[in-house]
Amino acid sequence: ASLYLRDIVLLYDLQKFLAIETQKYLQPIDTWVRQVAERLGIIGKNDKDPIAIAEKIVAQCRNHSVCPLLFNAGAWYVGARSFELLLESL
């Protein structure tokens, strides 16, 4: 459900209407998002709880003035399409 809701919010540019504390629920945490977040140092190797991971992603995005929903969508895309290339460039 979080994947669908994230995409609807992005499609209709609704993120400005979301409370900060609800953004964690629009963070689908799959293997790709988890790997990108781990590689960027947002989460640790032992972080397993999806809600805790989502909270860390949202917090880091807000600290760096990045839209958490766009980060999530981008992390999935990068992970699914070119994760190995990303790792080589970092």
For the stretch 42-55, pLDDT in tens is 999 999 999 999 99
Q: What are phi and psi of 43, to 5 degrees?
A: -125, 165
Determine the longest span between alpha carbons in the chain, in angstroms: 38
**pTM for this model (two decimals):** 0.84
Cα separation, 42 vs 11, in Å, equals 26
For the stretch 76-87, pLDDT in tens is 888 777 766 766
Q: Which residues of the chain have pLDDT under 50?
A: none
Rg (C-alpha) for the chain, rounded Å, is 13
- DSSP label of 29: -
